[in-house]
């Protein structure tokens, strides 16, 4: 069996991902996420796990540095990389929504949309034929309508708490999102046996 490298998105998906692997009898260290280490070797499993920023998971997988990746569909839609998306892992469920203040002026000539997802946002509004100005932010997106930086945000909504606590409302839900398992296109051929074994073990637990 070939050694397989898995790129795992740090942050809110990582805990669920470790849980899923462990339930599939692939024994990732339980306290992996408590340490500051970024690379973990599991010789008994013939695995190597690297912990990377969510937006970097598709990059590691496209280049083949990692054979597999676990990452949110939001990131995949934004990064649009050349890889195989093989499994919906059904955790990290949330949605892409447009949101803003309850009293948004309908007479705006052009919306200003703040988002962490400028590529997806551009495609979305282009497909609707609506011209918008996109402002890329790196976090705390809900601040944009509160401060007047933008009138609309395109962001992920999970519980809706951040919107509610900042007095914002959803204008439109765009699409559902969840964590996905992705595979490098070459690894899928060269390490097919090892990768299929992992996919099947995880699939049984979903
Ligand atoms: C995300 C997202 C929203 C919030 C939604 O931010 O950008 O702000 O979570 O979750 P909720 O609907 O459960 O409140 P994140 O926590 O990743 O932090 P960020 O503001 O730094 O992007």
Q: Token digits for 174?
A: 């765009």
Whether 108 and 167 map to the same domain: the answer is: yes
Is pLDDT at 91 greater than 80 in this prediction?
Answer: yes
Q: Of 11, 142, 153, 157, which is best to mutate to test ligand 1, by the most ligand atoms within 8 angstroms of its C-beta? A: 157
Atom 19 of ligand 1, residue of closest alpha carbon: 139
165 Cβ inside 6 Å of ligand 1: no
pLDDT tens, residue by residue, 103-132: 877 766 789 999 999 999 999 999 999 999
Asked if residue 31 has pLDDT above 90, the reply is: no
Instruction: Using the predicted structure, report yes or no on whether residue 29 has a pLDDT greater than 90.
Output: no
Q: Is 64 in the pocket of ligand 1 (CB under 6 A)?
A: no
What does the alpha-carbon distance between residue 90 and residue 98 come to, in Å, rounded to a whole number?
Answer: 23
Residues 88 and 184 in one domain: yes
What is the chain's alpha carbon radius of gyration, rounded to the nearest angstrom?
19
Return the ligand 1 atom nearest residue 142 CA: 8
Asked if 78 and 103 sit in the same domain, the reply is no
- Residue 54 CA, ligand 1 centroid: distance in Å: 14
Q: Which of 179, 131, 187, 183 is nearest to 156 (CA)?
A: 179
Q: Are residues 158 and 188 in the same domain?
A: no
Residue 66 has pLDDT above 80, yes or no: yes
Q: What is the band of 45 on the pLDDT scale with cuts at 50, 70, 90?
A: confident
Q: Are residues 127 and 160 in the same domain?
A: yes
Across the range 81-94, mean pLDDT stands at 97
List C-alpha distances in Å: 75 to 24, 59, 125, 147, 151.
Answer: 25, 11, 18, 26, 23
- Which pLDDT score, from 0 to 100, does residue 56 have? 97
27 and 75: one domain?
A: yes
Residue 34 has pLDDT above 90, yes or no: no
* 195 and 115 within one domain: no
Indicate whether 73 and 86 sit together in one domain: yes
Q: Tokens in use for 57? A: 């998971």
pLDDT tens per residue, range 147-204: 999 999 999 999 999 999 999 999 999 999 999 999 999 999 999 999 999 999 999 9
Same domain, 83 and 141: no
Q: What percent of the chain has a predicted confidence (pLDDT) above 70?
A: 99
Q: Taking a C-beta distance cutoff of 8 angstroms, is the pair 96, 174 a contact?
A: yes
C-alpha 142 chain-centroid distance: 19
CATH of the domain at 148: 3.40.190.10
138 lines ligand 1 (CB under 6 A): no
Total of domains in the chain: 2
Domain membership of residue 160 as a residue range = 94-176
Three-state DSSP string of the chain: CCCEEEEEECCCCHHHHHHHHHHCCCCCCCCHHHCCCCEEEECCCCEEEEEECHHHHHHHHHHCCCCEEEEEHHHHHHHCCCCEEEEECCCCCEEEEEEECCCCCCCCCCEEEEECCHHHHHHHHHHHCCCEEEEECCCCCCHHHHHCCCCEEEEEECCCHHHHHCCCEEEEEEEEECEEEEECHHHHHHCHHHHHHHHHHHHCCC
Same domain membership, residue 159 and residue 110? yes
- 98 and 86 co-located in one domain: no
What's the rounded Cα separation, in Å, for the pair 175 and 93? 11
Same domain, yes or no, for 19 and 70? yes
With a 6 A CB cut-off, is 74 part of the ligand 1 pocket? no
pTM: 0.94
């Amino acid at each position: 069996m070939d050694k397989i490298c898995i790129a795992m998105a740090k942050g809110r998906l990582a805990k669920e991902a470790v849980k899923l692997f462990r339930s599939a009898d692939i024994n990732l260290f339980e306290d992996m996420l408590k340490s500051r280490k970024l690379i973990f070797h599991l010789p008994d499993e013939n695995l190597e796990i690297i912990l990377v920023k969510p937006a970097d998971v598709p990059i590691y997988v496209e280049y083949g540095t990692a054979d597999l990746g676990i990452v949110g569909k939001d990131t995949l839609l934004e990064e649009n990389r050349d890889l195989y998306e093989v499994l919906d892992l059904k955790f990290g469920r949330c949605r892409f929504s447009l949101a803003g203040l309850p009293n948004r002026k309908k007479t705006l000539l052009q919306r200003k949309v703040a988002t962490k997802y400028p590529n997806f946002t551009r495609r979305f509004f282009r497909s609707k034929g609506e011209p918008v100005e996109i402002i890329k932010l790196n976090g705390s997106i809900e601040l944009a309508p509160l401060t007047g930086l933008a009138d609309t945000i395109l962001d992920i909504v999970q519980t809706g708490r951040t919107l509610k606590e900042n007095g914002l409302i959803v204008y439109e839900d765009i699409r559902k999102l969840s964590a996905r398992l992705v595979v490098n296109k070459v690894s899928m051929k060269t390490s097919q046996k090892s990768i299929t074994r992992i996919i099947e073990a995880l699939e049984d637990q979903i």
